[in-house]
Structure 1
Amino acid sequence: MRLYTRGGDAGMTSLFDGSRVPKDDPRVEAYGGLDELGSLLGWCRCGEIEADLADRLARVQDDLLTLGAELAMPGQTRSAAGIRLLPDEAITRLEGWIDEAVDRTPPLRQFILPGGSDASARLHVARTCCRRAERGVVSLRRIADVRELVIIYLNRLGDLLFAWARQANAADGIPDVSWTPPRTRESEERP
């Protein structure tokens, strides 16, 4: 089987049900955002991170493919195709992981600057990509049937990636760098 089909050369692509839509269709933008996020999580897994975190990132990648498949199908196609939908328990799993990560880091008292260790920086990039993907799904939901769970999952995942980024720094002994608001900076700089 060839990797290329030439079917997208005119800027169109096929949804799961075979219908053709422009490549910038909100549905394509939404599941494309999940694909991009999944790829970024693969990059996060390539860094020096704890084995448990690598396993959890792989689990999230699997979840994102499941959600992407769901988004690639117009409503009635989903039930006819008999695809597996992500269960509600996936949200509970993410919330448990958030709580674990928060317990491993100092209390958060103010905004922080993304960065620190390589692993933390990668996770922060993934977090911002997750928020963009979430916005894409919210846009799709305005015009199409999208399960609320998809948006909730992405919202929790953004929080989780933030918590994991802080956890990665803490594991490497790197403290958070607090953001100093402009007014505070100006008063500190005056003699």
Structure 2
Amino acid sequence: MVVLNKIYTRTGDKGETALGDGSRVPKFSLRVAAYGTTDELNAALGLARLHAEGDEDAALARIQNDLFDIGADLCTPDIENDDKAEYPRLRMVPAQTDRLEAEIDAMNAHLKPLRSFILPGGSPLAAHLHACRTICRRAERMVVELSGVEAVNPDAVRYLNRLSDWFFVAARMANDGGEADVLWVPGANR
């Protein structure tokens, strides 16, 4: 359980932060940048939720919770020794990505196939979801880069990869089921 009695601790004043296992690293470390970008995505998703209602909002709330799970996963290195940890470590699991895939398939079943690339925009919710999609892609790139130098849970990478697809399809749904998508017109301003 998390207990936050005091918000500032001064322990990061020299440019370091603690990871989930208690080890300290520079705040510019790739691991911190990776989970920090998932936190940025979560904040952007909070803005998107201002324009969502009902089932849309519930789906976004589930994703926000998953993003905290990814943050917990990424801030705890040494994945190879999870079985030796004093307490169970929170890691992303395949079921979280499976849920996204099922939701993508359900949303996509209501959309006409694309015949053009679409520009980010349309409704306020769609525009925010497109912004979330691009932040998600950046988070994914950072986690993949991290996995090149340190062990990373592959389920975190898979989740982020699928999540950006989820945001794309959800943005189309938010644009009146794709009817209000803003289509790219190649060379329109020549």
TM over 0.5: yes
Q: Number of aligned pairs?
A: 183
Structure 1 residue 29: Cα displacement? 0.6
SS at match of 1:170: coil
Runs of 4+ displaced beyond 4 Å: none
User: What is the match of residue 14 of structure 2?
Assistant: 10
User: What is the match of residue 34 of structure 1?
Assistant: 38
Which of 144, 168, 184 aligns to 1:179? It is 184
1:39 partner amino acid: A
Structure 1 residue 99: Cα displacement? 1.1
Structure 1 residue 178: Cα displacement? 1.3
Which of 66, 74, 90 aligns to 2:96? It is 90
Please tell me whether the aligned partners of residues 115 and 124 of structure 1 are also in contact (alpha carbons under 8 angstroms): yes
Q: Distance in 1 between matches of 2:14 and 2:82?
A: 27
Structure 1 residue 77: Cα displacement? 5.9
* Bigger proportion of residues as helix: 1
Q: Distance in 2 between matches of 1:2 and 1:156?
A: 36
Matched, 1:54 2:61: no
Q: How does 1:1-191 map to 2 (within 5 A)?
A: 1-47=5-51, 49-75=52-78, 76=80, 78-79=82-83, 80=85, 81-170=87-176, 175-182=180-187, 186=190
Structure 1 residue 124: Cα displacement? 0.5
When Rg is computed on C-alpha atoms for both structures, the one with the higher figure is 1
Structure 1-normalised TM-score?
A: 0.89
2:102 partner amino acid: G
Identify if the C-alpha distance between structure 1 residues 77 and 11 changes in structure 2 by more than 3 Å, giving closer, same or farther: farther
1:146 partner amino acid: V
SS at match of 1:21: strand
SS at match of 2:76: coil
Q: Distance in 2 between matches of 1:157 and 1:10?
A: 35
Q: Distance in 1 between matches of 2:42 and 2:142?
A: 15
Unaligned runs of 5+ in 1: 187-191
Structure 1 residue 108: Cα displacement? 0.9
